[in-house]
Structure 1
Amino acid sequence: MVNIIINTLSKFGFTEIESKVYYELIKNPNSNGSQIAKILNLPRTSVYSALDKLLKKGCVFLLAENDSNKYIALESSKLLKKLKKEYMEGIELLNDEFKKISINDENNQYININGEEIFFEKIREMIKNAKEEIYINTNFDLNLFEKEFLELKKKKIRIILFTFEDIDYSHLGIEVFSKKFTGKCRDDYKRMMIVIDMKEACIGEKGRNKELIGSFTKNRLLIDIVTEHIHHDIYLTNLSNFYNIDMNKIKINTKHENLFN
């Protein structure tokens, strides 16, 4: 119990000796510095220094009825009320001052994300913040975000998905543009690209037995690149379907293309 009190008081600006002296005065009021030092087995100079600081903090009081310099502690309930008031005033002051800071977004343009749980939590946060449109390219199951998408469906926020899978997400309010993939498909490979309101983007990938690694950004260039990538996939798919084009005939024989042959 003693250690808990001392350790907790240290979080409110009390030194270890100040905490011990205050605790001792709670147990044994009307004590002087020499008596406290003897009980705590501490140097008298350290104890009197702590008493002086506690006096200035209003946590102990010097009795005026005699010349023996005896002290009493502020009642614990009043101390807690005092600390709570000071703590809340400090929080309010910091809140006001932080609002005055002009944040440079460049410092937070790229945030690396490691781990599936953290990545998906970031995606959920982004989806919740959407106000206008969402663009997605993924082969992850979007039912993972069912709750968030259903909320956007109520708000009539447009959600556009390009995928190489034949899948229906109409129950989530998602417009699906799909192109059946004819090359070699790696079932163990998962990826996601998502853009929210043309203001922020997140990309991530996961291979077999590998941790999901991603990156979140508000960088204008990367947002444009991901957005254009998703749009061009949809444009090519629509052109292919409309004109019945064999997409193999427009390939340009690159290393990237050969990965899927």
Structure 2
Amino acid sequence: MEELLGNIQAMGLTQYEAKVYLSLVPLGLSNAYQISKISGVPRARVYDVLDGLVQHGLVMKQESEGGAHYSSLPVDVFLESMKSKWEETYSSLEKELKALEKQEREPEIYVSTVKGEDNILSFCRVLIRRARKRIVLSMWEPMYCNLMEDLKKRQEGCLLRGILFQVNDPLPGLELHRKTHYVEHVDHPWFIVSVDGQELFYGNSIEQGGNAFYTDDPAHIYLLEDYIWHDVLVNRLVGEEKREEMDQWIAPARKSFFGQIRES
């Protein structure tokens, strides 16, 4: 019931209005005393709340010799009314926000942080949808599985390039990174999505629960796109047949480079 109450309030009703409407749905025609008792709304407030709902057209009022009685708007009618209002609000909001976004402003380079799995995936999907020329990415299996259908839809209109880790069946244009000790034991899987050389989104893969970062900074975009190309290039040069041979020195050499062990 608490979840239902919250959902009703999300449609623009106050807590008391939501409680009164929800009590009226099963009650049917009732007086203010009954509604107050069932809904838990104080009797001193219930009349004002009911009058407000009547004004909104969500509750119907019948006057009789025995006093005023109230009934809820039928559920189907209520839902249709809420849907229409939501769609009108959405259309108006969409138009006004996009108009604001198009207003000319001084170019400003920035990096912004995005938190939360749902927000990160939604941000990726929006970027993928508005790509016009190319999508360049580097990504691990969990992120890729969540975004694969979105990438498929953009394949016909966009160049899709990049490298994937621990993925079984990459889309055309995406290369599978060879198996290495580093890939199999990496502590912090990442993702990088670059769109049209204009926008960049990167950070921890969603299962890491970390942050992601969006920027339109040309230096960020150039460096990370070039990093992806370098990864692709090395992957092509080494090849699977040289994996064991290369692993013997790549893993120690990487640790030595970052000062994790001494060079022999």
Range of TM-score over shorter length? 0.5 to 0.7
- Post-superposition Cα deviations, 1:132-170, rounded to whole Å, max 9, x if no partner, equal 2445578x6899687677666655726366xxxxxxx99
Between the aligned partners of 1:171 and 1:39, the Cα distance in structure 2 is: 58
Instruction: Indicate the structure with greater helix content.
Output: 2
- Post-superposition Cα deviations, 1:50-70, rounded to whole Å, max 9, x if no partner, equal 33323322323242x54x532
TM-score by structure 2 length?
A: 0.53
> For residue 243 of structure 2, what is the aligned residue in structure 1?
none
Between the aligned partners of 2:53 and 2:121, the Cα distance in structure 1 is: 49
> For residue 113 of structure 2, what is the aligned residue in structure 1?
111
1:96-245 maps to which residues of 2 (within 5 A)? 96-102=95-101, 109-111=111-113, 129-135=130-136, 154-155=156-157, 157=159, 159=161, 172-173=172-173, 188-189=185-186, 195-204=194-203, 211=208, 215-220=212-217, 221-229=219-227
1:39-78 maps to which residues of 2 (within 5 A)? 44-58=43-57, 59-63=59-63, 66=65, 68-77=66-75, 78=77
Query: Once structures 1 and 2 are overlaid, which stretch shifts more, 103-112 or 89-98?
Result: 103-112
> For residue 19 of structure 1, what is the aligned residue in structure 2?
19
Q: Cα–Cα, structure 1 residues 258 and 109, in superposed 2: closer, same or farther, change >3 Å? A: closer
- Post-superposition Cα deviations, 1:30-88, rounded to whole Å, max 9, x if no partner, equal x4x4565577787543232233323322323242x54x532232542444443343333
Between the aligned partners of 1:7 and 1:233, the Cα distance in structure 2 is: 48
Alpha-carbon shift at residue 197 of structure 1 (Å): 1.7
Between the aligned partners of 2:84 and 2:110, the Cα distance in structure 1 is: 34
Q: Cα–Cα, structure 1 residues 44 and 94, in superposed 2: closer, same or farther, change >3 Å? A: same
Give the aligned CA root-mean-square deviation in angstroms: 5.9
Between the aligned partners of 1:196 and 1:211, the Cα distance in structure 2 is: 23
* Unpaired stretches in structure 1, ≥5 consecutive residues: 162-168, 237-254
Q: Percent identity?
A: 15
Letter in 1 for 2:98: K
Between the aligned partners of 1:148 and 1:24, the Cα distance in structure 2 is: 41
Q: Cα–Cα, structure 1 residues 256 and 170, in superposed 2: closer, same or farther, change >3 Å? A: same
Letter in 2 for 1:19: K
Q: Cα–Cα, structure 1 residues 198 and 26, in superposed 2: closer, same or farther, change >3 Å? A: same
Letter in 2 for 1:27: G
Between the aligned partners of 2:38 and 2:154, the Cα distance in structure 1 is: 66
Contact 2:29 2:69 in 1 (8 A): no
Between the aligned partners of 2:49 and 2:204, the Cα distance in structure 1 is: 57
- Post-superposition Cα deviations, 1:212-234, rounded to whole Å, max 9, x if no partner, equal 86744323231133245566889
Q: Cα–Cα, structure 1 residues 89 and 38, in superposed 2: closer, same or farther, change >3 Å? A: same
- Where 2:161 maps in the other structure, the secondary structure is strand
Contact 1:51 1:60 in 2 (8 A): no
Contact 2:28 2:71 in 1 (8 A): no
> For residue 95 of structure 1, what is the aligned residue in structure 2?
94
The count of aligned residue pairs is 235
* Unpaired stretches in structure 2, ≥5 consecutive residues: 164-168, 235-255
Select the structure of larger CA radius of gyration. 1
